[in-house]
Chains A and B, each alone.
Chain A
Amino acid sequence: QKEVEQNSGPLSVPEGAIASLNCTYSDRGSQSFFWYRQYSGKSPELIMSIYSNGDKEDGRFTAQLNKASQYVSLLIRDSQPSDSATYLCAVTPLGRTGGFKTIFGAGTRLFVKA
């Protein structure tokens, strides 16, 4: 079992729709959860961080965390063509040194059709 799993996609949504991206993780001791956006040929760009159960909203983005189910998701409202990218889920387990090796999923490719 991979430590962080994401559906590779591609996920295709029409412009203006809600895009829903999902991620599961295996380490129950994980403390920190992040979503990054990566355009082709570029480095990852941080979109959201979430540390406690529930929802966290930032503009058009909402991150949702459910530690009991070991599940984290990202919702993108009013999707735009410029949102077309690969979305990476990242999880930081509690390391033996007290911190903190971050594990990334392979990413979900999102296409927003104009």
Chain B
Amino acid sequence: DTGVSQDPRHKITKRGQNVTFRCDPISEHNRLYWYRQTLGQGPEFLTYFQNEAQLEKSRLLSDRFSAERPKGSFSTLEIQRTEQGDSAMYLCASSSGVAEQYFGPGTRLTVT
């Protein structure tokens, strides 16, 4: 059973550096979502793709964040010029159409 995978699982970076995370969805899923979660909070929506098209992006997402899904399969999330406030768990989820979303294990980012 190949679920959603994310890489890396942990990332420690210094403030001001760029980081990139990868998500591989369940193979038959056409929708892919990125969320950010901090301690004591639920996942916060960042953006989602239907196939290769980015259909919605949170207004909370600054210009330092960008996501791509070039061939409608895997996706990358890049954070430029990281700040300490970016420290969080970054979660990827996928779904088939508008059905239930299944989450990957997440990438924990620590900005020092």
Contacts and interface: CB of A to CB of B under 8 A. Distances in A.
A46 interface: yes
A107 B100 contact: no
A49 B55 CA distance: 23
Contacts of B25: none
A83 B85 CA distance: 32
A28 interface: no
A101 B102 contact: no
B28 to A, nearest CB: 16
Nearest to B35: A104
A10 to B, nearest CB: 12
B105 interface: yes
A94 to B, nearest CB: 10
A43 interface: yes
B42 A43 contact: no
Contact of A107 (B42, B58, B101, B106): B42
Contacts of A12: none
Of the listed residues A90, A102, A107, the one surrounded by the most CB atoms of chain B closer than 10 A to its CB is: A102
A42 B9 CA distance: 11
Contacts of B98: 31-32, 92, 99-100
**Interface size for chain A: under 10, 10 to 19, 20 to 34, or 35 or more residues?**
20 to 34
B42 A88 contact: yes
Interface string A91-113: 01001010111111111000000
29 contacts: A31-B98, A34-B100, A34-B101, A43-B89, A43-B106, A44-B43, A45-B103, A46-B102, A49-B99, A49-B100, A88-B43, A90-B42, A92-B98, A99-B50, A99-B98, A100-B98, A101-B45, A101-B48, A101-B58, A102-B33, A102-B45, A102-B101, A103-B45, A104-B42, A104-B45, A105-B42, A106-B40, A106-B41, A106-B42
